[in-house]
Amino acid sequence: MGEKQEEKKRRVPRKLIVAGLVVLVLAGGFTAWRLYCRSLVTKQLDAIKAAGYAVTLEELDARHPIPAENAASAYYRAFARLVDPPDEDWDLLPLVGRAELPPLSATMPEEMRKVVEQCVEANREALELMHSASEIRDCRFVMRPLSATDLTRPSQYQPRLRQGTRLLSYEALVYAEQGDGSRAIGSLRSSLAGGRHLAGKTSMTDFALSIGLDTLTLDALERVMSLIPIPENDALEMQGDLVTAEVPEALARMIDSEVCLGAWYTHQPRIVRARDLGGSPSGWQLQDMSGVSDLDLATYLGFLSDALAVAPRPFPERIRAMRELDLVRRFEAVPKMYRLTRGLMPNLAYITEQDGKHVARLRAARAALAVERYRRTRGPLPETLSDLVPDFLDAVPQDPFDGEPLRYKRLDVGYVVYSVGPNEADDGGRTGLEEADDVPFTVAR
């Protein structure tokens, strides 16, 4: 009986030792797993940083210092003087109101013209400041260190900048209908500066707005060129501005801001992540403890790292390479528990195509101005865009979608310069149809 009791006493320590070893193995395995998950994040961040990009908001802020002479100061003074149109004018106002502009080559109806002129006159002081801002090269609207709010939410300056750009378009149309091509182009050159001052800065909202502002300007330029001839020197200067309006690094800088935003979120309280990205604080706590948060961030950074390798490439390689990344299909396979990736990941293939359309229209407008210079000095329209080289263009601009020269077609009245668009099929300059998505710039004169 005594021997059996002694044997039991010896077994108890053995069981404790075995249990302790199991706990140690499990703890070591879990620690190794957590270190492995964290190493995936570190590896992605190190690779992005080695490629020359920022990985924190502080680094991003340092890459966009507030300039000594800042166009934003003039813009803010302009915004303070903007005057909204009276309620009774909204039915007659195009662009901001409910009215639609007439066809390209037609002047505005009398009532519309008067309301537009009144709107321009009421904002004369603001417009002068907008012109002043356009002459300053550097701009940063955020006058303090960047925060996540600057990357995730529209800022107060954005709608006001859009309003000011529309007013400059109004001003250009008024001058065009008065037959003053030089002053009309002057208004549009100031308008184009707004998009340039935003492009390549920080956030996705700035990136999207810069494209939207340029679209407003190019729409007005189409209309001005369809109404009146453009003086030679003004057309030449506008051509130069359109070259400057292309900011090749803008897409990469926008993606980099998304890298910094994702990295920022992983250091935020769980209640903040639950509020912005979904889930519950306790759910985020479990993900943090288990390593899922690191796997989520590593996946997100992997997407963006792949995109950053593609974004600096020239068109059309940029568009094709972004498509080949197949980000949409890869995103669909991301586990639902990866809330950061699912909540923040932008549709970069679509955004890159929109950027391609933007560049295509800028280039088509530049070629159209060369056509205007040609026929101002030589009489008839050119037969092809090659006729413009080298006197009016150094070379025919390249289509961002297929790499071929932009297309050109003479119309019954005027002409169209166009890109084949995302489907890379020549649809004769047609757009807005399911089977046709060319990117045209039309002059109906």
Residue 359 has a pLDDT of: 98
- Both tokens assigned to 83: 């005057």
Residue 18 has a pLDDT of: 63
Give 155-205 pLDDT, tens digit per residue: 889 999 999 999 999 999 999 999 999 999 999 999 999 999 998 777 999
Residue 78, CA distances (Å) to 49, 377, 432 in order: 38, 39, 35
Residue 41 has a pLDDT of: 95
Residue 20 has a pLDDT of: 66
Place of tokens 């378009």: 169
Q: At what angle do helices 317-324 and 292-310 cross, to 10 degrees?
A: 150
Q: pTM above 0.85? A: yes
- Both tokens assigned to 79: 């915004």
Phi, psi (5° rounding) for residue 66? -70, 120
- Both tokens assigned to 260: 């910094």
Give 60-106 pLDDT, tens digit per residue: 999 999 999 999 999 999 999 999 999 999 999 998 888 999 999 89
Q: Residues 211, 200: contact at Cβ < 8 Å?
A: no
Q: How far apart are CA 352 and CA 350, in angstroms?
A: 5
Which of these, 60, 26, 21, 8, lies nearest to 252 by C-alpha position? 60
Place of tokens 């994702």: 262
Q: What is the DSSP string of 341-379?
A: HHHH---HHHHHHHHHHHHHHHHHHHHHHHHHHHHHHHS
Sequence-distant (≥ 6) Cβ neighbours of residue 239 within 8 angstroms: 366, 369, 370
CA angle 283, 288, 290 (to 5 degrees): 95
**pLDDT < 50 stretches in the chain:** none
Residue 72, CA distances (Å) to 139, 145, 193, 272 in order: 5, 15, 12, 31
Residue 14, CA distances (Å) to 11, 21, 138 in order: 5, 10, 74
Residue 163 has a pLDDT of: 96
Residue 9 has a pLDDT of: 54
Q: Residues 158, 205: contact at Cβ < 8 Å?
A: yes
Which of these, 158, 163, 196, lies nearest to 81 by C-alpha position? 163
Phi, psi (5° rounding) for residue 376? -70, -35
In angstroms, the first-to-last Cα distance of the chain is: 115
Residue 10 has a pLDDT of: 55
Place of tokens 């925060």: 147
